[in-house]
Amino acid sequence: MKSITLIVLLFVSSLLHTQEIPDNFVYIGDIDPTIKVELRYYSTNNFIGKKIEGYNNNCLLVTKKTALALKEVQKILALKGLSLKIFDAYRPQQAVNHFVKWAKDINDTIMKAQYYPNVPKKELFKRGYIAAKSGHSRGSTVDLTIVDLTTKKELDMGSPYDFFGEESHPFYKNISKEQKDNRMYLREIMLLNGFVPYDNEWWHFTLANEPFPKTYFNFPVE
């Protein structure tokens, strides 16, 4: 019976992964299924409050080189009873276009209180929170945090994922020692495994020497 169940699961998995993706892209679950995924842009739990165009499934795509580096990070965390939790990785250009279209509609502010309470929406472009191009579309940038496997809770990083404000800057000072330590631990293990942090977001890292530094892809996440 177990063998039959396994065959069925493998068959279902193959059906979910039928799209043609570019060479050197992989599903993170095929490289390390222990890494947790909560694809925020596939849900309404994001700064727009709607599912984002191009996200057709709660599966996560990255370049193979990035996936292998993330697997090494996961090995380090597992020794401490921790796990990566990834909110976003490869992001199709159509999703970025959705962000740009939303940002230009200054009257759509249903998620302002949760995600950008202190930033006027009309300044999101000026302050660099929204851009016409994203490193995510190159396939080697990830947004992530750390989860305690015992409590099943994310480590407290001092601000939520995708919060637009200085509170999300990695070295923001007005947070507790524990929150600072959590941010620095995430930063340390990502740097150790070849990722470059971003100055404005504690959760955002790009693989150094990424395989597609000038290519912005637009195939859907499915």
- Catalytically active residues are 201
**Amino acid identity for residue 210 in this structure:** E
Instruction: Kindly provide the b/e burial profile for residues 90-106, where b requires at least 16 CB atoms within 10 angstroms of the residue's own CB.
Output: bbbbebbebbeebbeee
CB 163 within 8 A of CB 132: no
Distance, CA of 158 to chain centre: 17
Phi, psi dihedral angles at 108 (to 5 degrees): -90, 95
Query: Can you tell me the distance from the alpha carbon of 197 to that of 215, in angstroms, rounded to the nearest whole number?
Result: 20
29 SS3 class: helix
214 Cβ contact list (under 8 Å, min separation 6) = 138
* Helical axes 177-192 vs 64-78, angle rounded to 10°: 130
Phi, psi dihedral angles at 62 (to 5 degrees): -150, 170
Query: Can you tell me the distance from the alpha carbon of 148 to that of 81, in angstroms, rounded to the nearest whole number?
Result: 6
